[in-house]
């Protein structure tokens, strides 16, 4: 089916593009995903660049070095656009062979009408991080790649009047992809407060940010995969950006956190396609969080203060309140679960779960997944970790 092939192609090309300026990547980790997406107050020193730079001081006395490699992907197709367009493509092909078949003409219109205002979202992330914690200045070098792909359908009433004419359709399908590659270093310092057992941590992440965006739009009948030449159409630019974070420990087991990501707002206008452009947005994101941990049980909660948008021309924005829990068995195995409640109408609530294994103390593997309350909203993330 053409649209889904297009979404997959866009996704694949996006990952190829993001690999060009850097040899490795960094991403929100599988542990966070499994715990409802929390991490502002519960992430470890190794995952700090993806949640809160101040958490780079969150290490144990035996931690001297950490390495993480992670990959994740998610799909949200609440309108069932995948199957609906697949059905329309089959009917359209049959109608080309039998244009005077009245039953096919009626089925063609019904299939086209079912596509109207459909939306399909695909999000991918790949990552790499290496960290050296110490009491003077904890450091974490990372590269993080995120790609957002959105496919939209718009059915024109003219195509539903009279006899179907696939060769002169007005109804369109539009695919937009925007992505960032962040390469930087997280620096954090812990400050002992003049109150027994209390500590304040401050962290910052200066980073180079490479932004790419592409737009492809055509009529439903003219939407062809081989016309999507990303090599000559995509737009790109490289800018400076930064993240900032604070963590406060009123006791050894409780952490309160605040994180500001992408402090400097950025935007990139895509190429023009079928008379249409789009503007990919990289906007500041502010999140607060709290966590309790006693070494065996960790309970965390995050709340997005700001909403996240991807394209200025698309009415799609996300904002979540998240909770998660982790049960830790002697640092050898972990069981995780969480819940993410959507604060907007453009995403559904999600349940999350995952596991972690680190049987030899140094090498570990984590797996996380989510499932949305809406149909066809799923995601998965896997990562490999080394801590010495």
Which domains does the chain show, CATH number per domain? 2-387 (2.40.160.60)
Cα distances (angstroms) measured from residue 127 to each of 39, 73, 124, 149, 244: 16, 12, 10, 18, 19
262 contact partners, CB below 8 Å, separation of at least 6:
209, 241, 242, 243, 282, 283, 284, 285
Q: Give, for 4, the enclosing helix (H) or strand (E).
A: helix 2-19
| DSSP-derived secondary structure letter, 99 | T
| DSSP-derived secondary structure letter, 100 | T
User: How far apart, in whole angstroms, are the C-alpha atoms of residue 118 and residue 216?
Assistant: 16
First vs last Cα of the chain: how many Å apart? 48
User: How far apart, in whole angstroms, are the C-alpha atoms of residue 190 and residue 136?
Assistant: 8
Exposed, middle or buried, 131 (CB in 10 Å: 0-12/13-18/19+)? buried
* Residue 306: half-sphere exposure toward Cβ, Cα within 13 Å: 15
β-partners of residue 200 are 191, 248
User: How far apart, in whole angstroms, are the C-alpha atoms of residue 228 and residue 5?
Assistant: 11
Cα distances (angstroms) measured from residue 345 to each of 184, 309, 316, 323, 348: 34, 13, 9, 19, 7
Q: What is the helix, strand, coil percentage profile of the chain, to 5?
A: 20, 50, 30
Identify the pLDDT of residue 226: 56
Q: What is the pLDDT of residues 100-153, one digit of tens each?
A: 999 999 999 999 999 999 888 888 899 999 999 988 999 999 999 999 888 899
Q: Are 327 and 321 in contact (CB under 8 A)?
A: no
Residue 35: helix, strand or coil by DSSP? Answer: coil
Q: Are 95 and 164 in contact (CB under 8 A)?
A: yes
Task: Give residue 275's region: left, alpha or beta (phi > 0; psi -120 to 50).
Answer: left
Chain centre to alpha carbon of residue 247: 24
Task: Give residue 20's region: left, alpha or beta (phi > 0; psi -120 to 50).
Answer: alpha
Q: Judging by DSSP bridges, how do beta strands 350-357 and 279-282 pair with one another?
A: unpaired
pTM here is 0.89
Count of residues for the chain? 388
User: How far apart, in whole angstroms, are the C-alpha atoms of residue 94 and residue 35?
Assistant: 47
Residues of the chain with pLDDT under 70: 1-28, 223-232
User: How far apart, in whole angstroms, are the C-alpha atoms of residue 131 and residue 43?
Assistant: 13
| Residue ranges of E strands in 61-198 | 66-76, 119-132, 138-154, 172-192
Identify the pLDDT of residue 380: 92
β-partners of residue 328 are 334
User: How far apart, in whole angstroms, are the C-alpha atoms of residue 211 and residue 144?
Assistant: 12
| DSSP-derived secondary structure letter, 264 | S
147 contact partners, CB below 8 Å, separation of at least 6:
11, 14, 15, 18, 123, 124, 125, 177, 178, 179
Identify the pLDDT of residue 77: 87
| Token pair listed for 195 | 């109150």
């Amino acid at each position: 089916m053409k649209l889904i092939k297009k979404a997959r192609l866009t996704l694949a090309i996006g990952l190829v593009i993001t690999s060009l300026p850097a040899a490795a990547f960094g991403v929100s980790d599988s542990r966070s995903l499994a715990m409802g997406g929390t991490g502002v107050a519960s992430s470890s020193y190794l995952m700090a660049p993806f949640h809160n730079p101040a958490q780079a001081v969150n290490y144990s006395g035996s931690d001297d070095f950490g390495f993480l490699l992670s990959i994740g992907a998610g799909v949200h197709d609440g309108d069932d656009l995948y199957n609906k367009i697949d059905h329309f493509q089959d009917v359209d092909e049959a109608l080309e062979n039998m244009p005077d078949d009245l039953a096919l003409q009626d089925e063609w219109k019904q299939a086209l009408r079912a596509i109207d205002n459909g939306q399909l979202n695909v999000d991918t992330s790949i990552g790499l991080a290496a960290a050296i914690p110490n009491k003077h200045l904890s450091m974490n070098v990372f590269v993080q790649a995120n790609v957002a792909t959105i496919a939209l359908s718009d059915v024109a009433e003219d195509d539903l009047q009279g006899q179907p004419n696939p060769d002169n359709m007005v109804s369109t399908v539009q695919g937009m992809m925007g992505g960032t590659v962040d390469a930087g270093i997280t620096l954090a310092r812990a400050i002992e407060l003049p109150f027994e057992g209390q500590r304040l941590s401050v962290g910052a992440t200066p980073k180079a940010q490479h932004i790419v965006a592409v737009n492809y739009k055509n009529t439903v009948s003219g939407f062809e995969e081989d016309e999507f030449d990303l090599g000559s159409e995509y737009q790109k630019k490289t800018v400076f950006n930064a993240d900032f974070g604070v963590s406060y420990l009123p006791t050894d087991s409780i952490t309160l956190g605040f994180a500001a990501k992408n402090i400097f707002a950025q935007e990139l206008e895509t190429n023009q396609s079928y008379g249409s452009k789009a503007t990919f947005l990289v906007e500041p994101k502010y999140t607060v969080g709290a966590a309790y941990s006693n070494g065996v049980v960790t309970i965390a909660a995050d709340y997005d203060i700001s909403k996240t948008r991807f394209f200025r021309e698309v009415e799609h924005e996300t904002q979540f309140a998240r909770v998660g829990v982790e049960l830790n068995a002697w640092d050898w195995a972990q069981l995780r679960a969480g819940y993410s409640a959507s604060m907007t109408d453009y995403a559904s609530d999600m349940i999350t779960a995952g596991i972690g294994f680190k049987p030899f103390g140094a090498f570990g593997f984590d797996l996380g997944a989510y499932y949305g309350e809406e149909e066809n909203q799923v995601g998965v993330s896997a990562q490999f970790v080394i801590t010495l």
